[in-house]
Amino acid sequence: MRVKFRADLRANRNIVGHILDWFGTNVQFTDITEDAVTSTVSVNEMAMFYWALQYGTSVEIVAPVRLRERLREATNAISEKYNREL
């Protein structure tokens, strides 16, 4: 699937290096500013889901919406686990 995400350079100054390590030359960078960069890649949906979870504090999926929704549901479930008392 084709995935577009915004990487926050303030959260992780090395995120572009991580993106290149994972996606190689199969990445297109646009909307480049001092603080962020938009990346577009063609990837396996499941692999991107787990990659986005791994880099969740540094990236935000912009499209497709269904991947964004899956990540919202997963992160909400994780948040609920860690916000309750043991």
Which residues are CB-neighbours of 17 under 8 A, at least 6 positions away? none
The whole-number pLDDT of residue 25 equals 87
The domain in which residue 8 lies consists of 2-83
CATH of the domain at 23: 3.30.70
The whole-number pLDDT of residue 86 equals 87
Structural domain count of the chain: 1
Residue 14: count other Cβ atoms within 10 Å of its Cβ: 10
> What's the average pLDDT block by block, 10 residues per block, for the chain (86 residues)?
96 94 94 96 96 96 98 96 92
With residue 10 as reference, give the H or E element that holds it.
none
